């Protein structure tokens, strides 16, 4: 029995007991992240940035949004030129965290640059009420200025209603995943059980669903992936992103003409489903540290996994997206002018060395390959006219 201690988890234990003593790992991840009262994001406990539990690019530095805005404006201008009617352009952000990225994007697009500010609306799709509150607080001043900022659910958007740019920075890594384990050469699904006597949460094998079986078989047939890999030892484990395709499909259906930019931790299939990666990529963070034990403090830490590069591209393309390209964040930001930005900061803050130093530090972390620089930017497009070509600065 793979048992681990359960701390501060009465709320979760009640839910597991109500479900008969075992829930799937997928349900576990969904609860600890998205439960409206106790989940890390659901309740709004999530604390991003240097002073929080972990950093994301926008929570670390406004310069990230400054550089990204160059790309977004370029795309919006090109998309506008392809439209037949004067439709409103959208900048839509999935999972906007504490609102840092959206706030800086609005600032640059609507106030500082104004290159394409006319007829632009901003939309956030955020399922977690606790996070929506944080975002509304951060965007209060722009709401007061009357800018068109809406919080919507994906279902509320009409079919093919979006013309513009859709962003998802570190969102797919927060979608619940199934955990699978190799036992006697066969894949089993992992669940999370609670033992009343020892008061412990532990992993337990549960029935594999038809949906999960089909999803893995689909990838194996079409992508030359072998799960478990040849000669995998007993207990080899990985995770499966059962929701990515559904998410991509739902997004695809809402776009009329647009670019989807997904930014995330990502691994190639051959490294993901390899003998050496024998415990998947799931990782939990609290106070800028890795929490080794997923069951230690459910609902009080982030829980995240890498996406698989090939599966994401395959799903996108078979749904109808065109892949414009994939690039490492470090390279994308350099193409968007990171070096010039560093120079500007030095000049601008020549009398405030400590501020200049921390801005420089944050910018360098965005491109550092052992930090956020290794993130992948996936650029997909969907245009009514399939022959439409879009120039993209971030991919050289």
Q: Which residues bind ligand SAM (CB under 6 A)?
A: 41, 48, 56, 58-59, 94-97, 100-101, 125-128, 131, 169-171, 174-175
**Nearest-approach distance from CB 166 to ligand SAM, in angstroms:** 11
Residues 6 or more apart whose Cβ sits within 8 Å of residue 352: none
CA distance 266 to 312: 9
| Residue number with CB closer to ligand SAM (167 or 181) | 167
**Nearest-approach distance from CB 199 to ligand SAM, in angstroms:** 30
| Residue number with CB closer to ligand SAM (73 or 98) | 98
Give the three-state DSSP class for 111. helix
| Residue number with CB closer to ligand SAM (92 or 180) | 92
**Nearest-approach distance from CB 215 to ligand SAM, in angstroms:** 17
| Residue number with CB closer to ligand SAM (102 or 324) | 102
CA distance 159 to 10: 42
| Residue number with CB closer to ligand SAM (95 or 330) | 95
> Taking a C-beta distance cutoff of 8 angstroms, is the pair 353, 237 a contact?
no
Bond preceding residue 382 cis, omega within 30 of 0: no
DSSP state for residue 280 in the 8-state scheme = -
Nearest to 252 by CA among 124, 169, 160: 160
The two three-digit tokens of residue 166, written as one number: 């859709």
List residues bridging with 327 in a β-sheet. Answer: 377
Q: Closest residue (Cβ) to ligand SAM? A: 95
CA distance 256 to 254: 7
| Residue number with CB closer to ligand SAM (181 or 332) | 332
């Amino acid at each position: 029995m793979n048992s681990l201690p359960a701390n501060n988890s009465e709320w979760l234990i009640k839910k597991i007991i109500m479900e008969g003593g075992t829930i799937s790992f997928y349900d576990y991840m969904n609860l600890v992240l998205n439960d409206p009262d106790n989940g890390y994001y659901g309740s709004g406990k999530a604390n991003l940035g240097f002073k929080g539990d972990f950093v994301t690019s926008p929570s670390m530095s406004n310069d990230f949004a400054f550089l990204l805005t160059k790309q977004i404006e370029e795309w919006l201008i090109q998309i506008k030129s392809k439209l037949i009617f004067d439709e409103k352009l959208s900048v839509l952000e999935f999972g906007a965290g504490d609102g840092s990225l959206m706030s800086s994007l609005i600032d640059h697009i609507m106030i500082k640059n104004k290159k394409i500010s006319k007829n632009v609306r901003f939309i956030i799709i955020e399922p977690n009420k606790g996070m929506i509150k944080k975002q509304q607080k951060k965007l209060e001043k722009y709401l007061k200025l009357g800018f068109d900022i809406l919080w919507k659910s994906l279902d509320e958007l009409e079919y093919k209603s979006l013309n513009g740019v859709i962003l998802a920075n570190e969102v797919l890594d927060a979608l619940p995943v199934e955990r699978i384990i190799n036992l006697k050469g066969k894949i089993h699904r992992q669940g999370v059980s609670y033992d009343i006597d020892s008061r412990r949460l532990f992993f337990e094998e549960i029935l594999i669903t038809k949906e999960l079986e089909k999803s893995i078989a689909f990838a194996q047939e079409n992508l030359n992936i072998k799960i478990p890999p040849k000669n995998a030892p007993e207990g080899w484990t990985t995770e499966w992103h059962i929701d990515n395709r559904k998410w991509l499909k739902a997004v695809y259906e809402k776009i009329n003409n647009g670019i989807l930019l997904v930014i995330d931790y990502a691994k190639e299939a051959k490294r993901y489903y390899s003998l050496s990666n024998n415990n998947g990529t799931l990782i939990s963070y609290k106070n800028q540290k890795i929490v080794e034990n997923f069951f230690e403090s459910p609902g009080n830490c982030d829980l995240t996994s890498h996406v698989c590069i090939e599966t994401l591209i395959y799903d996108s393309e078979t749904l109808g997206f065109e892949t414009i390209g994939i690039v490492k964040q470090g390279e994308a930001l350099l193409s968007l002018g990171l070096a010039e930005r560093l120079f500007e900061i030095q000049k601008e803050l020549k009398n405030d060395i400590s501020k200049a130093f921390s801005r420089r530090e944050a910018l360098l972390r965005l491109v550092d390959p052992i930090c956020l620089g290794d993130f992948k930017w996936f650029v997909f497009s969907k245009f009514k006219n399939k022959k439409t070509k879009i120039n993209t600065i971030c991919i050289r």
